[in-house]
Structure 1
Amino acid sequence: MQVDIGNALSDVARPGVSEGALERLDERVARVHERIERGMADDEFGYAALNLPETTDATEIREAVEPLTDADHVLTVGIGGSALGAVTVSRALGLDGHAVLDNVDPAETRRVLDALPLADTAVHVVSKSGTTAETLANFLVVREAMTEAGVDWTERTVVTTGADGPLRAAAETEGLPALDVPEGVPGRFAALSTVGLVPAAILGGDVEGVLVGGRAARESLALSLFDSPAYAYGAVCYALENRGATTNAVMPYLESLEPFAEWFAQLWAESLGKDGLGQTPVRALGATDQHSQLQLYRAGRHDKLVTLVQSSERPDVPIPETDVAGLAYLGDGETTLGDLVDAEFAATEASLAAAGQPNVRLTVDPTPEGVGELLVAMEAACILVGELHGVETFTQPAVEWGKRAARGLLGGGEFEEADAVAEKRRLVVE
């Protein structure tokens, strides 16, 4: 992976960061790197995520899912980090047939189930606690739908969960293959584990290659941001946030990486949104959003960093020749769709720079190794930013507050957070 931070420097952008400021910040990066290395060496909570490329056992995953590899479709039932990483990996690997239930919108749940050939679908249920309300509710709906379709759901289901809880108990009772959620790893950091790799393994993806790429990213971490793409990206994000770029718009120019932007949004928001700090992540897609969001990114407030993601290579499609006036520059028999998207990427990048809007270019390899490298690099960048800010990167107290409130409203226990619902201030206009 390569990171180009040139368009985030102060002689190009405002806000921008000078090379001198980055050199001063590099002293802090070195100290943080030493802290991260200690955390990895001791397998501390959160830092253990960066060990997953080494500790995840691809053979164990393949053995667990082997009875399901005849399926052409996989349905992940999970939410947040229990689903986003898996979708990101499978889509980035170009694997078709991966659906997800990561919400409890009844209409969407019904649409997904109606669209799937359930007899040809493997189900992967993911919940670390085994008590996640949305996941368990959807799983019960899926079980019923499969039974009504004449499918033995126990023969089509694999579970990833903690050592205890209702989901583990159900797996043991029904004889389901069950994998362990990695210890000490928050869900949003668990893409390179059983949590994120099971669907890809069922669909025949190269999960071993993903882990190899993750190891490469880990090995590229260094004492200096100028020697580490992950730290270079994290340090620039931190510096620009302190200078007013409180939004980070992530814009991949590959459809296969559109889920990556969603995964990144959870990683960045849930990890760094604390103590009045944290960039707000925004999801965009190139070249589609050049025709919409780019208007704001170029001509709006100077409070944004745009992260542009491109592939180092891609399969291509030639644009057919045409005699239509005005289209000869496209249909000349030589230009391809790849040429067009590359030109649009370059134009967007130059457009932002010309307007003084900071942007960073990430160039990734379109291989399993490249996918693993990208995900681990972004995790390391996130941890770096959290350390520089001095926040608790691996916790999510605001998320847990909402979970307790919802559980209390549904009769799942006495939670004072649920009382706040009745205290809502109202000003209704009809």
Structure 2
Amino acid sequence: MKTITMDLTNALAEAVGANGIDAGELTTTLANISDYYTRLLAKPFAFMTLPETKFQFDEMLALADKAAAMDIKNLVILGIGGSSLGTQTIFEALLHPLHNMEERFRNGKPRYFILDNIDPHKMAAIVETVIPDIDRTFLVVISKSGETPETISQFMLFNELMRRSAGYQQRIVLITDKEKGLLNRIAEKEGYPTLNLPDGVGGRFSVLTPVGLFPSALMGLDIKRLSAGAAGMAAHTVRYDGEENMAFVLAAILYLMDKAGKKIHVVMPYCERLAGFADWFRQLEAESLGKKGLGPTPTRSMGVTDQHSQLQLYVEGPKDKCVILFYSATQEVPIPASFDYLEDVQYLANKDMKSLFHAEFQGTRLSLTEAGTPNISLLLDEVSDYNLGALFYLFEMVTAIMGHLLSVNAFDQPGVEQGKIYTKAMMGKKGLEKEKEHTETLLLRRTKTIVF
């Protein structure tokens, strides 16, 4: 079995001095977490049960089998936030990095377009791209309530485009709440197949539900292995305690870093296939924990690229950061001898990119540690469906535990709602007339601008 190894050495005071975690404080926090987790097992959060229940696996696989017989060229996914980031993460990690660019990399699977923004320029470009093959386009619409203005507006557009082709009803699948919401009303009226979110599972915790797994099944990925990886990490979390439990230790360190004023959590993958995971975690941590004036600020950097844009800040800037590094590299790309008249490049001759990549990763770890910047490394023997499922579950569990430690509800997002109300009011939604008047008053306030 290929593994995930977490190295916490450089987060401890022994390695980075006063900026690191004190061993006694870590032990106390782990005892708190252990006690909390024991109580939690009696009434687990809904996301914790997903690896065991395999919610709607039969329905997903049946719909994916039907789609496989349709000669689909374009897969269009409408969703935002938790409705899209998990799928983006899975596709970037497990599909060929040039999947959309050339047919030979797709193994008979469709191109994919994940519309997580309504920027008109991009929307127009994607419409222009898929229209010539609208009869070979498969649409997945993801919204728990069906009222997300970004997603429903996109659906209104694509629904009318899809109507131009025969049999379009079977090429549209809606993923939504089991009973409530606008998408259920649309499905009943239009005859579209539906899949659901399990009760109690919100968007940012939904990657291991049909939200993330059904699009993956459409692309021929092994959703059973993704779920098995999550189940493996769930079993690890139950089986081990204290310093042997990866979720407990990671949650404790991130919490203690936050408590000590290191409130910026930099996720820095040395593996481009995990760039999407960093974006997925950014939403998970920010939206779950940013409440009551509390919560860390997650950011993303990319190794090795951001060694040349951000590392200066992490090494010599304010000590308000903890860096979470990911590393995985299995492909060997030889570096041939060349430019034999340049002595300064001969140290690279007849080496390989994998060795250089690893040296860059180790160099960053060493420079951070010597500068007193705490850092944690997660090393993956390979980026696989199993390991990716394990990572999803690990970081969801870490986030839930941190919610307990910070005394915040990790499963709501009240700060998001007001902006949604203002948007709907400005667009003229019935019942929000007072809110519209209020927004117009706010927008008429005197402004100070500079025009070029």
Normalising by structure 1, report the TM-score.
0.92
2:428 matched to 1:428? no
CA distance in 2, matches of 1:206, 1:176: 25
Q: Equivalent residue for 2:331?
A: 315
**What is the Cα deviation at residue 143 of structure 1?**
2.6
Opposite residue 125 of structure 2, the aligned amino acid is: R
Shift of 1:183: 1.1
Q: Does 1:10 align with 2:19?
A: no
What residue is the counterpart of 1:48 in the other structure? 46
- Of residues 336-345 and 366-375 in structure 1, the stretch that sits farther from structure 2 once superposed is 336-345
Matched, 1:158 2:173: yes
Q: What is aligned with 1:235?
A: 252
Q: Is the 8 A contact 1:143 1:153 kept in 2?
A: no
Residues 391-419 of structure 1: per-residue CA shift (max 9 Å, x gap): 01101000112212211222224446552
| 1:102 equivalent in alignment to 2:116 | yes
Aligned residue for 2:122, secondary structure, equals helix
Letter in 1 for 2:112: H
CA contact (8 A) 2:56 2:195 kept: no
Distance in 1 (CA, whole Å) between partners of 2:64 and 2:184 is 17
Amino acid at match of 1:297: Y
Gaps of 5+ in 1: 41-46
SS of the residue corresponding to residue 249 of structure 1 reads strand
The structure-2 alpha-carbon separation of the partners of 1:426 and 1:251, relative to structure 1 and needing over 3 Å to count, comes to farther
Q: 1:31-69 deviations in whole A, cap 9, x for unaligned? A: 2212331232xxxxxx11111112224332111222222
Other structure's SS at 2:378 match:
strand
Moved more, 344-353 or 313-322: 313-322
Distance 1:276 1:136 in 2: 32
Number of the residue aligned with 1:77? 78
Q: Identify the range of structure 1 (188-197 vs 292-301) with the bigger mean alpha-carbon deviation.
A: 292-301
Q: CA deviation at 1:422?
A: 2.7
Q: Structure 1: how far apart are the matches of 2:169 and 2:411? A: 34
| Identity within the alignment, % | 35
User: What SS class does the counterpart of residue 14 from structure 2 fall into?
Assistant: coil
* SS of corresponding position for 2:77: strand
Question: Take 2:73 and 2:327, find their aligned partners in 1: how far apart are those partners?
Answer: 29
Structure 1, 106-115 or 373-382: larger mean CA deviation: 106-115
Instruction: Report the equivalent of 1:192.
Output: 208
Say which SS state the counterpart of residue 180 (structure 2) adopts.
coil
What is the match of residue 212 of structure 1?
A: 228
TM-superposed CA distance for 1:314, in Å, is 2.0
Deviation at 1:386, TM superposition (A): 0.5
Q: 1:115 aligns with which of 129, 146, 150?
A: 129
The one-character-per-residue Cα deviations of 1:106-141 (angstroms, maximum 9, x if unpaired) are 111112233345444321100111221110101122
**1:59-102 Cα distance to aligned partner (Å, 9 max, x none):** 32111222222424422101111111111122222253332111
Equivalent-residue separation in structure 2 for 1:205 and 1:253 (angstroms): 23
- Is the CA contact (8 Å cut-off) linking 2:30 and 2:248 kept in structure 1? no
1:28-427 → structure 2 map (5 Å cutoff) = 28-40=32-44, 47-55=45-53, 56-69=55-68, 70-94=71-95, 96=99, 97-116=111-130, 117-147=133-163, 150=165, 153-162=168-177, 163-222=179-238, 224-311=241-328, 313-324=329-340, 325=342, 326-332=344-350, 335-364=351-380, 365-415=382-432, 418=436, 419-420=438-439, 422-423=441-442, 426-427=446-447
Amino acid at match of 1:27: A
**Contact 1:171/1:178 (8 A) holds in 2:** yes
CA distance in 2, matches of 1:38, 1:417: 43
Q: CA RMSD in A?
A: 1.9
Q: Aligned pair 1:20/2:11, yes or no? A: no
Q: How far does residue 367 in structure 1 lie from its aligned partner after superposition?
A: 1.2
* d(CA) in 1 for partners of 2:124, 2:312: 37
Mapped to 2, the partners of 1:322 and 1:94 lie a distance apart of 33
Q: Which runs of 4+ in 1 moved over 4 A?
A: 415-418
Residue 147 of structure 1, CA deviation: 4.6
Using the size of structure 2 for normalisation, the TM-score is 0.88
In structure 2, how many angstroms separate the alpha carbons of the residues matched to 1:417 and 1:361?
47
Aligned residues: 420
- 2:174, 2:192 within 8 Å by CA — same for their partners in 1? yes
Partner secondary structure for residue 212 of structure 2: helix
Aligned amino acid, residue 33 of structure 1: Y
CA contact (8 A) 2:31 2:242 kept: no
| CA distance in structure 1 between the partners assigned to 2:126 and 2:349 by the alignment | 39
Cα distance in structure 2, aligned partners of 1:421 and 1:196: 38
Q: 2:76·2:113 contact (CA, 8 Å) conserved in 1?
A: yes
2: distance between equivalents of 1:300 and 1:355? 10
Which structure 2 residue ranges, 5 or more long, are not aligned? 100-110
Structure 1 position 323, deviation (Å): 3.3
CA 1:299/1:139 → structure 2, altered by over 3 Å: closer, same or farther? same
What one-letter code is carried by the residue in structure 2 that aligns with 1:67? K
Amino acid at match of 1:358: P
Whole-Å separation in 2 of the counterparts to 1:237 and 1:298 = 19
- Report the 3-state secondary structure (helix = DSSP H, G, I; strand = E; otherwise coil) of the residue aligned with 2:15: coil
